A and B are shown apart, each in its own frame.
Chain A
Amino acid sequence: MSETSAVAPRHLTFLRRLESWKPAEIAFWLALVGVYFAFPTSLVFASQILITGIFAMSLDIILGYAGIVTLGHAAFFGIGAYTAGLLAAHGWSDPFLGLLAAGVAAGIAGYLSSFLLSRGSDLTRLMITLGIGLLLFEVANSATDITGGVDGLQGVVIGKLFGIFSFGLYGRTAYLYVLGVAFLLFAFTRSMMLSPYGLALRSMRENKTRALAIGIPITRCLTDIYTIAAVIAGVAGALLTQTTQFVGIDVLSFQRSADLLVMLIIGGTATMYGGFIGAAAFLLVQNSLSDVNPQYWQFFLGILLIIMTLYLRGGILGGLGKLTGLFRSRRNKERP
């Protein structure tokens, strides 16, 4: 009796400590603000990294937390990009409107395609996601009147942020805009993953049979999470359109989906930050290597993937996680 009230609160505080914002996290976000001041000439590139990070985070939600392997996630990124682009090219240039529309469009697409994923094996699902992505690419490729085809969508004009700040050439406004959106999306996703809903997702990932047996509505959860991930990917796509004022057809490409997967693996799944770390690592290295020779980049990537799959599971953050995990389990032993 007295044991419950004495011991359980200790577990509660332990859990609370696990779930609170760690100093490393706060440092991370402050550092991102710092980039604005420290690298004023590279802000365009920095925005790209952040946008890709958001995109990778949206993949992490379904891959790392819900366990769905997909090779077609770029579909939602592309839908968001084109929606925002088309909106802007036809006169509605308010940035937030673009984000909203992109999110809704991508969300609807995600919702609809989630129904295609409920049947069949892992490989079937992979194929279906791949197929959807390729299908959309072909559609965009053919509908040149609307999308501009291979040449891309031109005439994208972005209005002023809050009606005051205009998007200049150096990408300063753009960077803060992207950073703000990134943080909001991150905070939202983070709290969702720490909620009972996130717990249900992880249960599903860990053991689908058992999750079903304790009453988790698997199909509904999958549909939900796939839709949410699609919305976030769509917003990321819109951000890209708005900050580059252009939509290229590669936003829908298989290459983009595959690269994203690689980035997430490099960074580590299910850690919330893996997407950002992976995107940063990938893009920074790609930037330096592909100037030399694009084939070296591809070759290097291939070798990296092989080494990682054979020896290093969990990516950069996974490796770090193992270290802190060791530390944590030692502290666990001191628990009653």
Chain B
Amino acid sequence: MLSILGVIFDGLAYGSLLFVISVGLSITLGLMGFNNLAHGVFAMAGGYLLVTLMSKAGIGFLPALPLVFVAVALGSLVLERTLYRPLYKSTPLIQVLLSVGIIFIATAGANFMFGSGQQPVTIPEWLTGQVSLMGLDLSRYRLFLMLVVAGITLGLIFGLERTRFGAKIRASVDNQRMAESMGIRVERVFQLTFALGSGLAGLGGALGVDVLGLDPNFAVKYLVYFLLVVVVGGPGSVLGTLLAALLLGVADVAGKYYVPQMGAFIIYAAMIILLLLFPHGLLGRRNAK
């Protein structure tokens, strides 16, 4: 019987996964305004890559994670150059269609290569089981997740606020034309940010195999969640995405636990309400392009 704190804890863990996967989408959406519905494909790729590395190449869980990050980041650059870049100035509809096409290919491909079932993953021994904290039994893996995500978040915030590259990103998100005229090569900034965001998504997907599950329908199944987090949090805002992700994570877990018949109903209703109250996201900014 999970107490409220337990539900919240689970929700936060779930939310942090959503954050890691979605933050890349938020930045790229805020930066280029590109409607990439296929962002979940990167997460899915990360998950499948992790499983393959562990089972076929015998690499351990922890060492495999950074490999997944780098591989997905590089792979995303290829996609960006060939498919996304020609359509930056295009209409939202066209962009949506392209990303739907990518989702279809990825789903069919995953089905073909890995079969349609859930992928099992063996997490290392020391991460299984529970830890007793403040009178609660908390899953070690989920705790590990939250710590990793907290670290990533701090890294992101530090990177954005303190480094020069981070300043360039912020400037480009705020006002692209202005940034260009100040000598910032927005296109290069975007490429690197895109790679970073996609890499993070891959990492999130790998970390999440145990919590979110992994099957060929992953990209579609969680599409709404990622978009939701980004739109509600406000495109372009890291903190907004974090807030939205944690909020929605807790809401979804609580909803499914306390009112299971309503299931996903709660989260969609919550999304609609939040979007109506905050049409530009909780912490979103309007971009001047």
B-binding residues in A (CB < 8 A): 63, 69, 71, 116, 119-124, 126-128, 130-132, 134-135, 138-139, 141-142, 254, 258, 261-262, 265, 295-296, 298-299, 301-306, 308-310, 313
Question: B272 touching A116 by the CB < 8 A rule?
Answer: yes
Question: A128 touching B272 by the CB < 8 A rule?
Answer: yes
Question: B235 touching A123 by the CB < 8 A rule?
Answer: yes
User: In chain A, what residue has the closest Cβ to B268?
Assistant: A135
Docked CA distance A241–B102 (Å) = 33
Question: B96 touching A306 by the CB < 8 A rule?
Answer: no
Question: B265 touching A310 by the CB < 8 A rule?
Answer: no
Q: Is B228 an interface residue (CB 8 A)?
A: yes
Interfacial chain A residues near B276, Cβ < 8 Å: 116, 119, 128
Chain B 98-109 near chain A by CB (<8 Å), digits 1 or 0: 101111111111
Question: B104 touching A130 by the CB < 8 A rule?
Answer: no
Question: A138 touching B263 by the CB < 8 A rule?
Answer: yes
User: Of A123, A130, A135, A262, which is within 8 A of B100 by CB?
Assistant: A262
User: Of A119, A131, A134, A298, which is within 8 A of B108 by CB?
Assistant: A298
Specify the main secondary structure of chain A where it touches its partner. Answer: helix
Docked CA distance A69–B97 (Å) = 11
Question: B108 touching A310 by the CB < 8 A rule?
Answer: no
Interfacial chain B residues near A303, Cβ < 8 Å: 101, 105
Stretch in B4-12, B14-22, B85-93, B173-181 touching the partner: B85-93
Can you show 11 pairs from A to B with CB atoms below 8 A apart? A119-B279, A120-B279, A121-B279, A131-B272, A131-B275, A135-B265, A139-B265, A261-B100, A305-B101, A309-B98, A310-B87
Interfacial chain A residues near B264, Cβ < 8 Å: 134, 138
Q: Is B224 an interface residue (CB 8 A)?
A: yes
Specify the main secondary structure of chain B where it touches its partner. Answer: helix
Docked CA distance A303–B101 (Å) = 6
User: In chain A, what residue has the closest Cβ to B261?
Assistant: A142
Interfacial chain A residues near B152, Cβ < 8 Å: none
Q: How far is the CB of A90 from chain B (nearest CB, A)?
A: 24
Question: A134 touching B224 by the CB < 8 A rule?
Answer: yes
Q: State whether A298 and B107 are in contact (beta carbons under 8 Å apart), knowing that A135-B272, A265-B97, A303-B101 are contacts in the complex.
A: yes
Interfacial chain A residues near B228, Cβ < 8 Å: 127, 131
Question: B231 touching A123 by the CB < 8 A rule?
Answer: yes
Q: Is B269 an interface residue (CB 8 A)?
A: yes
Interfacial chain A residues near B106, Cβ < 8 Å: 302
Q: State whether A295 and B105 are in contact (beta carbons under 8 Å apart), knowing that A63-B93, A116-B272, A258-B100 are contacts in the complex.
A: no
Question: A130 touching B231 by the CB < 8 A rule?
Answer: no
Q: Is B62 an interface residue (CB 8 A)?
A: no
Q: How far is the CB of B29 from chain A (nearest CB, A)?
A: 7
Q: Is B258 an interface residue (CB 8 A)?
A: no
